[in-house]
Amino acid sequence: MHEHDVIVVGAGGAGLRAAIAADEEGADVALVTKLHPVRSHTGAAEGGINAALREGDDWELHAYDTMKGSDYLGDAPAIDTFAQDAPEEVVQIEHWGMPFSREDDGRVSQRPFGGMSFPRTTYAGAETGHHLLHTMYEQVVKRGIEVYDEWYVTNLAVTDHDDPEERHCHGAVAYEIATGNVEGFWARDGVILATGGLGQAFDHTTNAVANTGDGCAMAYRAGVPMEDMEMIQFHPTTLPSTGVLISEGVRGEGGILYNDEEERFMFEHGYANNDGELASRDVVSRAELTEVNAGRGIEDEYVDLDMRHLGEERILDRLENILHLAEDFEGVDGLDEPMPVKPGQHYAMGGIETDENGETCISGLYAAGETACVSLHGANRLGGNALPELLVFGARAGHHAAGKDMKTAEIQTGRSAKSEDGDVEPPVEPGAIEAGSSDGDVAADGGERSSSDRRSDAAMVEPKETLEHTVRQERERIESLLEADGINHAEVRSNVQETMTENVNVFRKEESLNDALRDLRRARERYEDVAVADPSRTYNTDLIHTIETRNILDVAEAITLGALAREEFRGAHWRAEFQERRDEEWIKHTMLAWDDGTPELYYKPVLLESQWKEYEPKERSY
Amino acid sequence: MSTIEQETETEETTDESAEPTVESPGERRRAEKQERAQAREDQRVDEEIDHSEETITLKVFRYDPEVEGKEEPRFDDFTVPFHKGMTVLDALIYSRDHYDSSLTFRHSCRQAVCGSDALFINGRQRLACKTQIADLDAGTIRIEPLPHQEVVKDLVVDMEHFYDQMEAVEPYFDADELPDDELEEQRQDRENREKIKMSTRCIWCGACMSSCNIAAGDNEYLGPAAINKAYRFAMDEREGEQRKQERLRIIEQEHGVWRCQTQFSCTEVCPKDIPLTEHIQELKREAVKNNLKFW
C-alpha cells in the first residue's frame, strides 16, 4: 500500500497544478496517471489562456463575458472566483518559464477571442496547451513530487455510509499497467480527480483516446452527483477522418466555409448574417449539420473550409501548423485545396459537482479541470477559458486538500442542495444491470458495491479497512475480466460511440434521445458479456480499455438523460421540440445521482449572485 | 488470416461451449479462450475484407515475455482495408479492434502532440499517428518498436532511461531572480522567444534517442532530446547568467555534448522538425566561449 497526504488522479494541467499547490502547502503529494504526465491531453489545446492582466481590462469584465457565454447557467461564485484568480495564475506560470508569445516591450501578448469584450487571451503560438503542460511538469520535477506514471486508477476507496454526504474518501486503487499489480493508495488528506474529458463517449471527437471520463464515472458511482452533463461543446471545424481540430484561428484570419454547391452558407442561408463564419461554435456547428442534412454537404458528410485566398505568405506566417495538421491527418494540402471539416465533440461543460474549492459532497474527494463542474462554463464554454480554469481550480483544490485555510464555499453540493425533483421518463430503465446471480457481477458492475453488499458490510467506515476492501474488490473485478470468456469490449464501445454521435449530437430530438437510451441499455447488457482476450499481466491495454468502456457507458447515459430532461435550447444544448431558452423554468442545473445503481435526476438552482456581483439574464447575442 | 496461429496448429476447432478441462490450470483455459476469440475475430474479418476494395498489409513485431507463443519475438501479418487519409496508427487500431485485442502499442492524442507512438516504421523512427500510409509507398508496412530500447511487449518500449536522461539536465525553469510584484511578468524580447521556440516543441517521443548511434553505444550519453531541453533553458534569457553557467557545466560533462558526432540522424527523424544537431553544436560553441572566458 502506498501512503501520501494527497493523491492526485490524472496529470494533465489540472492535476499538475493541484499537485504543485498541495506541495506548496507542505503536503506529501503523489500524482497517479494512466499515461505519463507529458502525454496528457492538455497538450493538445491550441488557443490560449484568458486573464484580465492589463489596464482597461478588469476581472469583472472577464466574469461578465463568461456568465453571458455560459448562457446564464454558470454559477456566479465560481465565475467571479475564476476571473479574480486567473491573472495571478497566468503570471505564476510565466514565472515558471512558460514561453508565451511576446509584445515588442517584452510583455506577454494577448489577442482577441470569441465572446471576449477585451483582447485578454494570452498564448504561446498555436501550441499553448503543450507549453502549459510541459512548463508545469517541469515544476513537478523540480519539486521532486512523486509521479506514478502508467498506473490506472480503477476505483475510489469511499466509506459505506448510506447518505453520500456522510461518506469519506480515503484513497484510490490503481492497476500498474507494466506489471498488472493492483495496489491501494491511501490518501491521508484527500483525493483530487483531474482525469480530463470524456470525448470517447462519441465516435467523432477532438479528444484523445485516453479521454474516457474515468473520473466522472468513478465519482458518480461513489455517490457524487454529475452536473449539467448534457452540456457538450461541439467544435465546428474538425477533420472528418480523425476528429483532429482545426483552430478557430483559420476563420479568425478570414477562412470561409462552403457547402457542396459552393455557397458561403453562413451568409447565403442566413445562419449568422453579422458574424458569418465567426459566429459562436454552437451556431456554426448547427449550420454545418443543417447543410449536410439538407443534402448540401460534400459526400453527404462535411463542408469545406477554404483559406487559399489568404495567400501562401500569410498562411505560412500565421497558420503554419494548420497546414501540417491537414496534410498529416487528412492528406490535404491547404494551400492547394479546401480542407474538409465537420462538427466534432470537443469539450464537456458538465461533470463532477464541486464547489469553488474543488470539493465534492464526499469529504476528502475533490475534482478539478474538465472532469469537474464547478459550473464555470454553464451551457457554453468560451475559447480560452479552459486553461485558466484548470489553473485556478486545480490550485484551489490542491491548496484546500492540503489543509490551507480558505474561505467557506458559497456553492452548495450534494443532494442537500436539491431544490426540485426531476421528471424524466426514459423508455428503458437506466443505470446498472441488476446483478443476475447472488454473488453479484463485480466486473460488469464497474466495481460498485451491490446494495446487499453495502448492507451486509455496513461497518466499512475505517480508512484502512475501506481501502483494503476496495483493493480486494478491484483485484476480483480484474481477475474475473481476465478469466472470463466473452466478447471484445471494442464492439460495445463502438456501439456507444455511434449512437451518441447519431442521436445525442448537435441536434437533439426526444425520439432520438430515447433511441440512444435504448441503445445504451443494450450496450450495458452486452457489456455483461465482455472479457479480456489478452491473458498477459504485462502491459495489458486490452484490460485497461475494457475497464474504460464501462466508464464511457456511465457517462454517455448521464449525458443522454440530462439532454432528455432539459426541455429548452440553451447554449450548446438544442432541442427540436423546445427551440428557445426558457428562463422561467430552466435557470437550474440538471443533477444526476447514482443511487446504488439507479440514476436519480433532480435540479438545483443556478446562483446568479455571488458575494461580489449579481447578474441579470440577457439574450446571448453577438 | 490475421496472425500466425501457433497454438491452433496442434488443436483444430474448439467447441464454443466446451468447459475448460479440469486437468489444466488457468494457462490452458486462457489459451483456449484466446483461440475461440481468434476464431470469432477471423470470421468477422473475412466478412469485412470481402467488401473492401483496397487493402494494405501490416507486418507487426510481437513479443510478450509471459504468453505462450509470444516469448520468442515474431512478426504477425494484419490485412487492413485502406482509405484515403489513413495513418499507420489508424491501421494499428483497426488491427487491434478487429483482429487481435492483445496487440499492444501506446497512443493517445492521435495528433502528434502527446509523443506516445514513436515507432520504427519501414526502417525509420516515425510517429504512427503522423504517418500517412499513402506516403509510405509500400504494399507492406513493417512496424517495430523503437530500436535501442528494451521492449516491454509488442510495440511498447521501456521509456525510463529516456526520462532519466531528460531529468539529468535539470529540465525546469529556475530564474536567478523574479519580479517582486506577483502580478508582474518577466520581460522577454521577441528575438529571444524566437530563439528558443523550436526547442520548446519537443514532445518527448524518443525518436531522436532511438536513431542516435552514439546513444546506442554509450548508455550514459544524455542524448539529443535532453541536450535540446538544456538548450531550451540555457538560451532563455529570463533565467540569468549564473544559471546559464550551471547549465553549460551539465551538458559539458563526459557524456554530454562532446559525444555528438553530428550525424544528423536525430534531426532527420524528429517529428517536430527541431534542429537538434544545430542546437547541440551551438551549445558546444557556448561551452567553448564560456571556458575561454574563465581562462
Question: What is the pLDDT, as a whole number, of residue B30?
Answer: 60
**Per-residue pLDDT at B5 exceeds 50:** no
Question: What is the pLDDT, as a whole number, of residue B4?
Answer: 40
Q: pLDDT-based confidence at A440, cuts 50/70/90?
A: very low
Domain final residue, candidates B157, B185, B216 = B157
User: Could you tell me if residue B287 is inside a domain?
Assistant: yes
User: Could you tell me if residue B16 is inside a domain?
Assistant: no
The three-class DSSP label of residue A217 is helix
B111/A142 touch (CB, cutoff 8 Å), yes or no: no
Cα distance between residue B129 and residue B125, in whole Å: 12
Question: What is the pLDDT, as a whole number, of residue A275?
Answer: 86
Match domain A431-582 to its CATH number in 1.20.58.100, 1.10.3720.10, 1.20.1250.20, 2.60.90.10. 1.20.58.100
How high is the mean pLDDT of chain A?
93
Question: What is the pLDDT, as a whole number, of residue A91?
Answer: 98
User: Could you tell me if residue B282 is inside a domain?
Assistant: yes
> Which whole number is the average pLDDT over A316-343?
90
Query: Which one of A62, A170, A251, A545 is the catalytic residue?
Result: A251
> Which whole number is the average pLDDT over B191-212?
97
Q: pLDDT-based confidence at A445, cuts 50/70/90?
A: low
Q: For chain A, give every residue range classified as CATH 1.20.58.100.
A: 431-582
Residue A63 contacts residue A83 (beta carbons within 8 Å): yes
Cell numbers of A474, please? Answer: 478491484
Residue B115, chain A, CB below 8 Å: the answer is yes
Question: What is the pLDDT, as a whole number, of residue B294?
Answer: 60
Cell numbers of A393, please? Answer: 481550480
User: Could you tell me if residue B186 is inside a domain?
Assistant: yes
Question: What is the pLDDT, as a whole number, of residue B41?
Answer: 64
A256-258 and A339-348 strand pairing: unpaired
Question: What is the pLDDT, as a whole number, of residue B51?
Answer: 56
CATH code, residues A233-346: 3.90.700.10
* Range of weakest confidence among A272-281, A494-503, B154-163: A272-281
Residue B90, chain A, CB below 8 Å: the answer is yes
User: Could you tell me if residue B150 is inside a domain?
Assistant: yes
Whether B140 and B175 map to the same domain: the answer is no
Query: Which one of A235, A400, A521, A575 is the catalytic residue?
Result: A235
Which residues between 154 and 213 in chain B have a beta carbon less than 8 angstroms from any beta carbon of chain A?
154, 156, 159, 163, 167, 170-175, 178-179, 182-190, 193, 196-197, 200-201, 203-204
Q: Nearest by CB to A88, which of B130, B182, B200?
A: B182
The three-class DSSP label of residue A43 is helix
Whether B174 and B111 map to the same domain: the answer is no
Each residue's pLDDT tens digit, B69-126:
899 999 999 999 998 889 999 999 999 999 999 999 999 999 999 999 999 999 999 9
Whether B121 and B30 map to the same domain: the answer is yes
Q: What 8-state DSSP symbol labels residue A479?
A: H
Each residue's pLDDT tens digit, A350-408:
999 999 999 999 999 999 999 999 999 999 999 999 999 999 999 999 999 999 999 99
Q: pLDDT-based confidence at A126, cuts 50/70/90?
A: confident
Question: What is the pLDDT, as a whole number, of residue A247?
Answer: 85
Cα distance between residue B279 and residue B229, in whole Å: 10
Non-local (6+) Cβ contacts of A324 within 8 A are none
Cell numbers of A198, please? Answer: 470524456
Residue A388 contacts residue A53 (beta carbons within 8 Å): no
Cα distances from A288 to residues A293, A573, B152, in angstroms, run: 9, 16, 45
Residue in chain B closest to A239 (alpha carbons) equals B85
Domain final residue, candidates B101, B122, B157 = B157
Surface-to-core class of residue B291, CB atoms within 10 Å of its CB (0-12 exposed, 13-18 middle, 19+ buried): exposed
* Range of weakest confidence among A263-277, A516-530, A553-567, A603-617: A263-277
> Which whole number is the average pLDDT over A268-281?
89
Helix-then-strand count for chain A, H and E: 17, 20
How high is the mean pLDDT of chain B?
88
CA distance B295 to chain A (A): 32
- Domain interval for residue B281: 160-293
Residue in chain B closest to A139 (alpha carbons) equals B172
> Which whole number is the average pLDDT over A416-432?
95
Q: For chain A, give every residue range classified as CATH 3.90.700.10.
A: 233-346
Cα distance between residue A473 and residue A465, in whole Å: 12
- Note the maximum CA span of chain B: 82
Residue B69 contacts residue B6 (beta carbons within 8 Å): yes
Domain spanning A2-232+347-420: CATH superfamily: FAD/NAD(P)-binding domain (3.50.50.60)
**Per-residue pLDDT at A450 exceeds 80:** no
Whether B112 and B213 map to the same domain: the answer is no
B102/A135 touch (CB, cutoff 8 Å), yes or no: no
Whether B97 and B131 map to the same domain: the answer is yes
User: Residues B283, B284, B285, B289: is their CA dihedral positive or negative?
Assistant: positive
Cell numbers of B35, please? Answer: 483461440
Residue B39, chain A, CB below 8 Å: the answer is no
Encoded amino acid at A7, one letter: I
State what percent of residues in chain A have pLDDT above 70. Answer: 96
B111/A244 touch (CB, cutoff 8 Å), yes or no: yes
Cα distance between residue A381 and residue A351, in whole Å: 13
Cα distance between residue A69 and residue A383, in whole Å: 10
Cα distance between residue A614 and residue A607, in whole Å: 9
- Which of A214, A485, A491 has the most B C-beta neighbours within 10 Å, making it the best mutation to test the interface with B? A485
Task: Provide the number of CB pairs (under 8 Å) joining chain A to chain B.
Answer: 194
Closest C-alpha among B154, B51, B16 to residue B96: B154
Task: Please report residues of A whose CB lies closer than 8 A to that of B185.
Answer: 91, 94-95, 100, 107-108
> Which whole number is the average pLDDT over A436-457?
47
The answer to whether A489 is a known catalytic residue is no
CA distance B249 to chain A (A): 18
Q: For chain A, give every residue range classified as CATH 3.50.50.60.
A: 2-232+347-420
With b meaning 16 or more CB within 10 Å and e meaning fewer, what string describes A338-372? bbbbbbbbbbbbbbbbbbbbbbbbbebbbbbbbbb
Residue B33, chain A, CB below 8 Å: the answer is yes
Q: pLDDT-based confidence at A112, cuts 50/70/90?
A: confident
A588-595 and A598-605 strand pairing: antiparallel
Each residue's pLDDT tens digit, A475-518:
999 999 999 999 999 999 999 999 999 999 999 999 999 999 99
The answer to whether A36 is a known catalytic residue is no
Whether B87 and B176 map to the same domain: the answer is no
User: Residues B90, B95, B97, B98: is their CA dihedral positive or negative?
Assistant: positive
Question: What is the pLDDT, as a whole number, of residue B219?
Answer: 95
Each residue's pLDDT tens digit, A15-59:
999 999 999 999 999 999 999 999 999 999 988 999 999 999 999
Whether B149 and B34 map to the same domain: the answer is yes
What is the residue whose three cell numbers read 508545469? A136
Residue A246 contacts residue A44 (beta carbons within 8 Å): no
B34/A138 touch (CB, cutoff 8 Å), yes or no: no
A209/B182 touch (CB, cutoff 8 Å), yes or no: no
**Per-residue pLDDT at B23 exceeds 60:** no
User: Could you tell me if residue B199 is inside a domain?
Assistant: yes
Question: What is the pLDDT, as a whole number, of residue A125?
Answer: 87
* Complex confidence, ipTM: 0.93
Cα distance between residue B208 and residue B215, in whole Å: 10
Give the number of domains in chain B: 2
Question: What is the pLDDT, as a whole number, of residue B45?
Answer: 61
Domain final residue, candidates B157, B189, B205 = B157
Each residue's pLDDT tens digit, A573-593:
999 999 999 999 999 999 999
User: Could you tell me if residue B168 is inside a domain?
Assistant: yes
- Which of B113, B127, B236, B272 has the most A C-beta neighbours within 10 Å, making it the best mutation to test the interface with A? B113
Whether B185 and B251 map to the same domain: the answer is yes
- Which of A212, A482, A541 has the most B C-beta neighbours within 10 Å, making it the best mutation to test the interface with B? A541
Each residue's pLDDT tens digit, A151-193:
999 999 999 999 999 999 999 999 999 999 999 999 999 999 9
CATH code of the domain in which B256 resides: 1.10.1060.10
Each residue's pLDDT tens digit, B56-70:
999 999 999 999 889
**Per-residue pLDDT at A316 exceeds 50:** yes
Whether B76 and B63 map to the same domain: the answer is yes
What are the beta bridge partners of residue A175?
Answer: A152, A182
The three-class DSSP label of residue A20 is helix
Question: What is the pLDDT, as a whole number, of residue B2?
Answer: 42
First to last CA, chain A: 54
CATH code of the domain in which B114 resides: 3.10.20.30
Whether B204 and B262 map to the same domain: the answer is yes
Whether B113 and B151 map to the same domain: the answer is yes
